[in-house]
Amino acid sequence: MAKTVTHTALQKSAGLLVIADDFTGANDTGVALVAQGMSVCVQFDVTGSVVKVGTGHALIYSTDSRAMSAEDAAEKVTQAVLAGSPLSTEKGWVFKKIDSTLRGNLGAETEAVLMALDCPLAIIAPAVPELGRVIKDGLCYVNGRLLTETEFATDPKTPVSTASVGARLAEQTSLRQHHISLEVLRSGDFQAQLFALTASGVRIVVADSQSAEDLKLIIHAAESLPFRPLLVGASGLSHALAQHCLTPQTSPENITERTAAPLLAVVGSMSEIAAQQITFVQQHRPVSLIDIDVLRLFSADSDRLLTTLSAEIRHAIAEGKHCFIRTRQSEEQRHSVAQFCQQNHISRPQMGGRIAVFLGQLIQNVLQQPETKPGGLYLSGGDIALAVARALGAKGFEIKGQIAGCVPWGFLLDSPLNRLPVMTKAGGFGTENTLFEVLRFIEEKLSD
């Protein structure tokens, strides 16, 4: 089946360096660039061999720093900036990808990149309007609800206690900041205000944005400044940057339809939407569902659990069934996990890390058997996706495209499974039919 793709010439930018705090976030940023025709590679380690980047290419570092201490996160992103220094030129853009629900080390990482670049100003706009994430009066809203009233506020690993972008930044940086309202953004005087604010010593500007047009206004004002500001945001701002600064050219590329093979899905996110996506698929396709009690990973029988689950997964794939592995079975688990951590003196990052490592070991154990050949691998949750990719020997990820509006897909780099299609999704993204659309993509286009 023919599919139209684009090949891009950089219109106004000499290069593009992206630094993301997790793997799925890096991919979400990269798909906007792929859509404009760029060749995009995500690298996991700054110490590894750097992908050569030229015209039509972008380099993304996934620092895996969202759950780190502020000090460690700052050091990690500083290393990424230095490693990507060939792109950090006077005419090149640097984009700091952050979570649209304000999780992670926003202040520490923004300040670290500004210092490493010796850049006078960061413009921060975490909105992703098409996914219901907007910034109004400096506050983050998700589908019309204040961030602190959503499940993201009680994230098992990186909870958020305030919906204020400025307050989240101030938790980790004392750099002067200024809030730009929608009225000012849309007034036509935004560029002049940016210049004046920079001259007055403001280092961070937080911009309201409720639509894709608002994000375009931010990019337009940033591009017209006499210097390249640091852009800090989520996939909404990266899409606006790609559309404003890249000129796409199209040419046909063929994707061959093949015999269907099952999808192996690892849903490590405990978000409500991830649970809804599995339920929707169950209503439309026969699937093998394998539940993991994450508390058992801290028991003496965790090794036996690994062996048992591996056998179950191999059996399902051998029978040609789509196989879904999930770590959430009910909403009550959030509270039971928190209680378990408190009783056993385990931090939330330690709990999340143990789950991610176990799932990485599990998938590596399953796929090392040559007879186990799924049509694709679906990884939901940034920590889970990175842990599985590393367990499979990957040092990076080549993004090829996007499915269902929020699921990047591509191939692992330097892995023995480098031709296995891999899909990644941030846990809280998508609608109830997102995973079903991934299944259709596997069944119709990419299965071996």
Residue-by-residue pLDDT tens, the chain, 448 positions? 333 333 334 344 446 899 999 998 899 888 888 887 778 889 998 775 545 555 567 889 999 999 899 999 999 999 999 988 755 555 678 999 999 999 999 999 999 999 999 999 999 999 999 989 999 999 999 999 999 999 888 877 788 999 999 999 999 999 999 999 999 999 988 989 999 999 999 999 999 999 999 999 999 999 989 999 999 999 999 999 988 876 554 444 444 444 468 999 998 777 778 888 888 988 988 889 998 888 888 888 888 999 999 999 999 999 888 999 988 766 666 677 778 888 888 887 888 888 899 999 999 999 988 777 898 999 988 889 999 999 999 999 999 998 988 899 999 999 999 889 999 988 777 788 888 898 888 887 654 4
Q: Is 223 helix (H, G, I), strand (E, B) or coil?
A: helix
**Cα(50)–Cα(81) distance, integer angstroms:** 12
**Cα(415)–Cα(433) distance, integer angstroms:** 30
For residue 42, the cross-strand partners are: 60, 397
Q: Which residues contact 434 (CB under 8 A, 6 or more apart)?
A: 277, 404, 405, 406, 407, 425
Q: How many CA atoms lie within 13 A of 30 on its CB side?
A: 32
Instruction: Give exposure, 159-187, as e/b (b: 16+ Cβ within 10 Å).
Output: ebebbbbbebbbebbebebbbbebeebee
Which domains occur in the chain, in start order? 2-251 (3.40.50.10840), 263-446 (3.40.980.20)
Q: Which two tokens stand for residue 218?
A: 């931010």
Cα–Cα distances (Å) from 54 to 59, 198, 347, in that order, read 10, 31, 42
Name the phi and psi angles at 178, rounded to 5: -145, 140
Tokens 């890390």 sit on residue: 353
**Nearest by Cα to 359 from 379, 340, 344:** 379
Cα–Cα distances (Å) from 128 to 18, 238, 429, in that order, read 17, 10, 11
**Single pTM value for the model:** 0.82
**Cα(152)–Cα(98) distance, integer angstroms:** 14
SS (H, E, C) 200-221: CCCCEEEECECCHHHHHHHHHH
Q: Which residues contact 301 (CB under 8 A, 6 or more apart)?
A: none
Conformation bin of residue 393: beta by default, left when phi > 0, alpha when psi is -120 to 50: left
DSSP annotation string for 291-340 = E--GGGGGSTTHHHHHHHHHHHHHHHHHTT-EEEEES-S-THHHHHHHHH
**Nearest by Cα to 105 from 5, 43, 25, 214:** 25
Q: Are 284 and 440 in contact (CB under 8 A)?
A: no
Handedness of CA 99, 111, 395, 327 (dihedral sign): negative
